Structure 1
Amino acid sequence: MCPVPTGRLVRTGPEAYDLIFTRNFSDPPPLLWRSFTRSEDTEQWFGRWEGTPGVGQSVDLQMLYEEGLPWSRVEVAACIAPELLRLWVEDEFGGWDLEIRLSDASGGTTMDFIQHLEDPLAAESVGPGWEYYLDRLAAARTGGSAPVFDDYYPRQGSYFLAQAQEASGSGETP
């Protein structure tokens, strides 16, 4: 299988970029919201977490589909159910600023999953990863087959590298 990448990288400031993935789901926002806010639902596509979530609070997240099953610390920066969830994730590689926006779309949901970046080159490696995980989310929601990571990375890297070059305005590697 060769999934087609859908993410787009947009420059939002002098050293600020948003890596945006838009997906549509047949479930209304409150049902899709659970895939991000209930550990038993999150673990079906990404990982399980422990702790008591709340704005300004942190939980521990174990990524269940990564080698070594690594743990991360996740702080809830903003939460407006079932519309907006903003998370600050810290792991051994640094910090991740993530935002999930859900909006009603004719009885279903349009989801914008956004990673805020300072370095557009990060999109080359994280873009394929988010494509994979968001396709895992869709499969978990519909009962479909889970995708295979090797179909995404490194194959989709060049797509996201081209986006980084365009967003930086240089046409060359930023």
Structure 2
Amino acid sequence: MTIAPTGRRDSRDGTDYLVLTRRFAAPVEDVWAAVTEPERLERWIGTWTGDPATGEVTFFMTAEGEDAPAEVYEIEVCEPPRRLVTRSSEPSDVTGTRWLLELDLDDADGFTTLTFAQALSDAETASSVGPGWEYYLDRLVAAERGDDLDDIVFEQYLEGQSEYYRSAFT
């Protein structure tokens, strides 16, 4: 089984972004907690340590296994419970650039919409990063619903979405 892609390419001030959204039947404060509190974040992707007041935290991507290296992320914008912008302090092995990640939360009518964006510039990177973020955001949705995260299989995302994201960023 493959999973249909939901993301899109967007241009902002001359920079291309991968943009994905997810909708939650939860208050904005609850979704904010799911993406910022270390214990809740760990359920679907990883955890962090440090003091955000210093402007950076160390992120551990625990969903990638115990040997995944720690990464330092600079906090560029933090406006609870609506907006978070972070940038990796070191270039990624995948892209060769520092990752710029943006998260915006909006609420209306009892639902919260999460909009995630990552600056991306090349098709080959998009072919793996796009399916990766689809996978992790679906894990977030499942964690918040109390579903079994083992039912979410990365290979199903990669197989069904790589070409879509490669084409979107060509």
TM-score (norm 2): 0.88
Say which SS state the counterpart of residue 140 (structure 1) adopts: helix
Look up the match of 2:8: 8
State the AA in 2 paired with 1:139: A
Q: In 2, are the aligned partners of 1:3 and 1:152 still within 8 Å (CA)?
A: yes
> What is the match of residue 37 of structure 1?
36
In the TM superposition, residue 70 of structure 1 has moved relative to its aligned partner by 2.3
Structure 1 residues 90 and 136, CA gap change in structure 2 (3 angstroms): farther
Q: Name whichever structure is richer in strand by fraction.
A: 1
Counterpart of 2:43, as a letter, is Q
Report the counterpart of residue 74 of structure 1 in structure 2: 73
- Counting helix residues as a fraction of each chain, which structure ranks higher? 2
Q: How does 1:143-158 map to 2 (within 5 A)?
A: 143-146=146-149, 147-158=152-163
Question: Residues 13 and 57 from structure 1, CA distance in 2 versus in 1: closer, same or farther, beyond 3 angstroms?
Answer: closer
Using the TM superposition, give the Cα deviation of residue 120 of structure 1 relative to its aligned residue in structure 2, in angstroms.
4.7
5+ residue gaps, structure 2: none
For the pair 1:135 / 2:133, whether they are aligned, the reply is no
Native 8 Å contact 2:131 2:162 kept in 1: yes
Stretches of structure 1 lacking an aligned partner (at least 5 in a row): 166-174
Contact between 2:121 and 2:169, CA under 8 Å: does it hold in 1?
Answer: no
In the alignment, does 2:114 pair up with 1:111?
Answer: yes
Query: For the residues of structure 1 that align with 2:69 and 2:33, how far apart are their CA atoms?
Result: 22
Number of aligned positions between the proteins? 163
Letter in 1 for 2:40: D
Q: In structure 2, what is the equivalent of residue 95 of structure 1?
A: 98
Check conservation: 1:9, 1:163, Cα contact below 8 A.
Answer: yes
* Alignment of 1:48 onto 2:47: yes
Secondary structure, counterpart of 1:42 in structure 2: helix
- % identity of equivalent residues: 38
> Out of 56, 63, 76, which is 1:58 matched to?
56
Post-superposition Cα deviations, 1:50-102, rounded to whole Å, max 9, x if no partner, equal 10113x61111110111532211111100111110001124552411000000
Aligned-partner SS, 1:152:
helix
CA contact (8 A) 1:125 1:154 kept: no
The Cα of 1:119 is off from its aligned counterpart by 3.2
Deviates more, 1:65-74 or 1:43-52: 65-74
Q: CA deviation at 1:36?
A: 1.8
What's the CA shift for 1:121?
A: 4.0
Residue 168 (structure 1) aligns with: none
Task: Supply the distance in 1 between the matched residues of 2:82 and 2:22 (Cα, whole angstroms).
Answer: 14
